[in-house]
Amino acid sequence: MQLKINPNDIKDIVEFINNYDKKTIKIMEVCGTHTMAIAKSGIKTILPENIKLISGPGCPVCVTAINRIDEVLALSQNPKVLIATFGDMFKVPGSRPGVNLASLKSMGAKIEMIYSAMDALLIAENNPEYEVVFLGIGFETTAPGTAVAIKEAKERNIKNFSVFSMHKFVEPALRVLLDSKEIEIDAFICPGHVSTILGIKGFKFLADEYKKPSVISGFEPEDILTAIYKIIMQIEKNTAIVENEYLRIVNLDGNKFAQKFIEDVFEPVDDVWRGLGVIPRSGMGIKDIYSDFDTVKRFDIKLNFEDKVTICKCGDIIKGKIEPKECSLFAKICSPENPIGPCMVSSEGACAAYYKYLRF
């Protein structure tokens, strides 16, 4: 059954997918925003049993290792430090039960929720008595904003501002998943936000090297269903290319202006990912030219690269090994009110998505 893809065909697309029974296809959605959109729209509930969607390592907060959280929590106890962070980080627990940025703030630690790295820079400018530390979380989507703030700090000689860079590159993690063969992945729904920065070229390795059909998708239900349809058609034709369904935003080369900011400020370094361990050249380290704004160097933080195993199964969920419902803590001990791991905390976390929309 062939279809001409346009917005009026969505009913035909759904019918085609529902009737597809030739083989089992396991599709990994890489982006946490896709995970939440899939759950919210009920897409999983209308798919046939042979079309399986697997959540991948696309939630930046979720892939941040527990060691890094512990290091941040320890830093927040310094009375001269003011932590500036996105809201998703507030309730992420460290190694000690019940201890997170929110609980430490209630006990007097200086922690502020902000919406951009430039907000953190403004706080530093207005509060010269504090060392303001911005927690740089995210992939290629948010890294350019952090790079801009670091450049601004240097140009304006704002000396009480630094960044704890936990930014990561997406490609190395996907390579680790595919090389490990720990789980079977037939195809990918590529992240729309990251693709806006990297362009189609940023994911060509999935098709060219690993022969995995891939579609860059937007976040509306129609986008995701169309991406699933296009993946099925690639598999039926025994082809593997990177298709761009997110035409209204993504182009071939991406945002070269944003890419330049990342290249100017950051360099690839080895980093530890929750559930995936240390991945070479997967982290964004701050270049020496901007070392005055590197929190790790400023406070001489000894980074721990151990991927600690905890009772929380977030690491296995990130890898697509299990679904949230398969974790014994899910919706029993672990809930948004009492999160045991980051997958339940983050608005892009698989556990949070399942709890809100799919737990029954």
Residue range 96-115, pLDDT digits in tens = 888 999 999 999 999 999 99
- Helix pair 256-265, 143-155: axis angle to 10 deg: 60
- Render pLDDT for 246-266 as a digit per residue (tens, 0 to 9): 999 999 999 999 999 999 999
d(CA 323, CA 332): 15
Mean pLDDT lowest among 3-12, 80-89, 154-163, 318-327 = 3-12
Our measurement of the distance from residue 7's CA atom to the centroid of its chain's CA atoms, rounded to an integer in Å, reads 29
Sheet harboring 51-55: ordered strands across? 51-55, 25-29, 187-190, 214-216, 242-244
Query: Do residues 141 and 194 lie in contact, with contact meaning Cβ atoms separated by under 8 Å?
Result: yes
144: left (phi over 0), alpha (psi -120 to 50) or beta: alpha
Look at residues 291, 333, 331, 284 and name the one whose alpha carbon lies nearest to residue 310. Answer: 333
> pLDDT tens for residues 263-288?
999 999 999 999 999 999 999 999 99
Q: How far is CA 137 from CA 69, 201, 308, in A?
A: 11, 23, 19
Structure confidence at residue 6 as a pLDDT band (50, 70, 90): low
The Cα–Cα gap between 18 and 162 comes to 51
> Can you tell me which residue has the tokens 């350019």?
144
This prediction has a pTM of 0.94
HSE-up (13 A, CA, CB side) for residue 272: 16
- Helix (H) or strand (E) segment spanning residue 113: strand 110-113
The domains found in the chain, sorted by start residue, are 7-56+180-238 (3.40.50.11750), 61-169+255-298 (3.40.50.11740), 314-357 (no CATH)
